[in-house]
Amino acid sequence: MNNLSTRLRATWNPDMYHGWGKKRKYFEGWYFKVVSKDERHAFAFIPGISFGEDGTAHAFIQVLNGKKCTAEYHDYEAKDFQPSSERFELKLGDNFFSGDKIKLKVPGISGELNFKNTTPWPKMLGAPGIMGWYSFVPFMQCFHGVVSMHHLIEGALEIDGETIDFTGGIGYIEKDWGQSFPKAYVWMQTNHFDAGVPVSMMGSAAHIPWLGNYFVGFIGGFWLEDRLFKFATYTGAKKYLEIGEDTVQLIFKNRKTELRINAQKGPSGELISPLLGDMKGKINESLQATAETQLLENGKIIFEGTGRNVGLEVAGEIEVIVDKPV
C-alpha cells in the first residue's frame, strides 16, 4: 500500500497514523488519560513520533503523573515506531497502543490496561472527526482527533514497584498531528462528575494560522447519556474566553445549546511539545484542575456539576485568543 492510499485512509479515520511518507517538520502523538476508580491515581501516557527540520527522527513515550505532578520523556529510535496501515494500532519498542488497550513497559511502569465501551467521536458526511471539514485542509499547522471520549478501564499497572488496579476507572483518548502546537491555546477535558451517568467534557480554543493571517478556532464536546453536544468554529458557534491568574472561563454557544465552563487551575507537570516537528517546546498540564460546568438547551439547564481530575493546559501568547463576550 503506497503512502497516498494510506494517507487517504487515515483522513477518514483520524485515530490512525497520518505521517506516511513524512520525513521533515512533522510530529504525531496520542494522549491516553487514565484515572483509577478511587481517583487516587491519574496518568497520561503519550506515545509519538518526531521528525525535525533537518530530518532527524525519534519516537517517544511521555508519562505524566497527574497526582505527583511529574513527567518523564522516554526516547526510542524511529524504527521502533511501527504503526498499522489498516487501523489504529501502534507498536513502540515493547509497548503497544490501540483504541482498545495499552501495554506498557517503560522504566518504572509495566502492565496492560483494556478499555471497554469506548465512545468515539461520530463520523459524518464531510466531517470524519472533531475538526469537521477542516480535516481536509492540507496546510493546517496542527490537526486534532478524539479517539474515545469516555470508556471504562480493566487491568493494573506496576508503577515504581506498587501494583495499581485501574479496574473500574475511566479513560479518555485523543491525538494531535502536524508541524507544531498552536502559538497560543487553551485545552481542558474531564470525565469525572457526580452525575450518576457517563459524562465527558472537552473544550479548546487556539490560534490558527490561515493564509498569511490567523483566526481563533475552537472545538468542544459534551457527551451526556449517549447524546453528544458539539460546539465548533465550523458549526457556527460563538465562544467567550477569559483567562485569569488561576481561572479559565470558556463559553460555547450554538443557536439552541450553550456550554459554560469555569475552570480552576491546579498543580501541573511539564511536558515536551512539538515545534516544527522537533520536540523542543514545553507546556504545563494539570490533571488536578476543577471545572464548574453547565449545559443549557433552549435556555434551560439540563446538566450542572463540577468536574474533577480535569486535564488543563493554558499555553503561549494567550492574549491573542481571548475575545469579546458572546
Q: What is the pLDDT of residues 201-243, one digit of tens each?
A: 999 999 999 989 999 999 999 999 889 999 999 889 999 999 9
Contacts 24+ apart (CB under 8 A), 239-248: 239/205, 239/323, 239/326, 240/323, 240/324, 240/325, 240/326, 241/186, 241/205, 241/321, 241/322, 241/323, 242/322, 243/186, 243/314, 243/318, 243/322, 248/186, 248/188, 248/312, 248/314
Q: Residue 226: CB partners within 8 Å, gap ≥ 6?
A: none
Joined grid coordinates for residue 130: 472533531
Contact between residue 318 and residue 295 where contact means Cβ atoms under 8 Å apart: no
**Structure confidence by residue, pLDDT tens digits, 160-186:** 999 999 999 999 999 999 999 999 999
Half-sphere exposure of 311 (CA within 13 A, CB side): 28
C-alpha cell at 76: 526510542
| Rounded mean pLDDT for each run of 10 residues along the chain, 326 residues in total | 70 90 96 98 98 97 98 98 96 98 98 97 82 86 95 98 98 97 97 94 96 93 94 93 96 97 97 96 97 98 98 95 69
3-state secondary structure of 141: coil
For residue 52, the Cα-to-chain-centroid distance in whole angstroms is 22
The pLDDT, as a whole number, for residue 324 is 54
238 pairs with which residues across the strands? 253
**pLDDT at 2 (0 to 100):** 62
b/e map 262-298, b = 16+ CB within 10 Å: bbbbbebbebbbbbbbbbeeebbbbbbbbbebebbee
pTM over 0.85: yes
| Residue whose cell numbers read 458539539 | 230
| pLDDT at residue 124 in the model | 77
Q: What per-residue confidence (pLDDT) applies to 309?
A: 98
- Position 326 scores a pLDDT of 43
